[in-house]
Structure 1
């Protein structure tokens, strides 16, 4: 689900990518809210807080909020930079390093005790900027795992198009787009609910559930690729 791009991607690839990483984003989002009272999967809300702090002349707090936005931006920047550099020589694994960085960040925060809440927020925002850019790059902007405002807007548009779509092929394509967006919203919600339920007993260690999901997704993706390559080699040797 990570390696295929463009026309090579199927609905199954996109669904697995969307459901997995939106679930992770839901966990990270609720952990950020409950642990440091900060939104960590998007930056839209931070601009409202920024305007409030500036209007109240709380300039130090305003600077922190600006840094929140910049860390999310920096995460997206670093992700695409790494993908572009690696894809020139090893396109099949261009997604791996950004995911390893996200896993590392979430693991460090999950293990941390007494860490300054501001640094926790910085780390989570960077990780989510990284993830959002990776998903956008892989799916070529078809999937966004954290931007629910845009998702609900697109979903509303797509639902209205059902009244005007008559051809079966177009209707099938539109239905899959709607299902994909609904899956992102639902899995983001499920991740948030699970993270919220587990936060009281586990605190920041809840992030280990997100880490485990990312590790399993990477492992299974490599297993599938290895299986397909082995299968092709066997078929090739038989035909020759």
Structure 2
């Protein structure tokens, strides 16, 4: 007879629920930041596909876009990912002190993007260097989301994207298309669906608050990041990543291609 250890089952479900909430909250933050960036800069800071394309177009026609802002976004996101990798190392514990450090850094960058460059003295210093305020805001906001994407990409067993959703929508489409023959991985489907929905909700909230508060609206996701960082630090000692069903090498390779 198959016996189920109820405490282990309850603990595993609680851990999965915590990870769902963790990932969903980060997706909401990313959607919020991206919406505010689109309002202020007319460019996204969490999805580099369009930014890279526009940067290439700007190379051919320098009058087409503001190339320095595009370059700042690209550099900021890359720098954020590098920093996340340096902080996290090989750690795959979710959450924990290292993740709390990354989220704290993200909160600081968002505060600087939303509040720091708006201050008169800081703004004057930036202009004295010959750099536009919008380029600095783009750099800081993109670095924040680069940190976040590097963080969630390091989850053991399943890289979770919370700043862009091409791979997420692809995975959901493949999952539905194969459902008849292979079934649906309910845990994976829940994570992908929740992050997508909350990213959309974050975008709506970012639009509503960014319209009235402009750059200061970034203080909202900054405070959320700080809160999650505190919770991650406190919960890190008792939290372990839920194990995911083993996948065949072929499915792992397909998932990697979709995420790319």
Please tell me whether residue 180 in structure 1 is matched to residue 184 in structure 2. no
Please tell me whether residue 44 in structure 1 is matched to residue 37 in structure 2. no
Cα distance in 2 between the residues matched to 1:99 and 1:15? 17
Cα deviation, residue 68, structure 1: 2.3
Please tell me whether residue 106 in structure 1 is matched to residue 110 in structure 2. yes
Q: Report the TM-score when normalising by structure 2.
A: 0.73
Alpha carbons of structure 1 residues 161 and 101: separation in structure 2 relative to 1, 3 Å: same
Secondary structure in 2 aligned to 1:137? coil
Alpha carbons of structure 1 residues 199 and 56: separation in structure 2 relative to 1, 3 Å: same
Please report the RMSD computed on the Cα atoms of aligned residues, expressed in angstroms.
2.8
The aligned residue for residue 238 of structure 1 is none
The aligned residue for residue 98 of structure 2 is 94
Cα deviation, residue 216, structure 1: 2.1
Please tell me whether residue 147 in structure 1 is matched to residue 164 in structure 2. yes
Cα distance in 2 between the residues matched to 1:204 and 1:55? 31
The aligned residue for residue 209 of structure 1 is 220
Alpha carbons of structure 1 residues 148 and 56: separation in structure 2 relative to 1, 3 Å: same
Secondary structure in 1 aligned to 2:221? helix
Deviations 1:167-192 (A, max 9, x none): xxxx4xx1221121111111000001
The aligned residue for residue 31 of structure 2 is 26
Which stretches in structure 1 are left out of the alignment for 5+ residues? Answer: 1-6, 230-240
Cα distance in 2 between the residues matched to 1:216 and 1:57? 42
Alpha carbons of structure 1 residues 206 and 57: separation in structure 2 relative to 1, 3 Å: closer
Secondary structure in 2 aligned to 1:15? helix
Q: Which aligned segments of 4 or more residues in structure 1 are displaced greater than 6 angstroms?
A: none
Cα deviation, residue 135, structure 1: 1.1
Counterparts of residues 1-240 of structure 1 (less than 5 Å): 10-58=15-63, 61-62=66-67, 64-84=69-89, 92-111=96-115, 112-113=117-118, 115=123, 116-165=133-182, 171=184, 174-224=185-235
Alpha carbons of structure 1 residues 198 and 67: separation in structure 2 relative to 1, 3 Å: closer
Q: Is the 8 A contact 2:20 2:191 kept in 1?
A: yes
Alpha carbons of structure 1 residues 80 and 162: separation in structure 2 relative to 1, 3 Å: same
Q: Which has the higher helix share?
A: 1
Which stretches in structure 2 are left out of the alignment for 5+ residues? Answer: 1-11, 124-132, 240-260
Cα deviation, residue 221, structure 1: 3.4
Q: Which moved more, 1:91-100 or 1:58-67?
A: 58-67
Number of equivalent positions? 212
Cα distance in 2 between the residues matched to 1:133 and 1:13? 19
Cα deviation, residue 220, structure 1: 3.0
Cα distance in 1 between the residues matched to 2:96 and 2:27? 23
Secondary structure in 2 aligned to 1:163? helix
Cα deviation, residue 93, structure 1: 1.2
Q: Is the 8 A contact 1:159 1:178 kept in 2?
A: no
The aligned residue for residue 3 of structure 2 is none
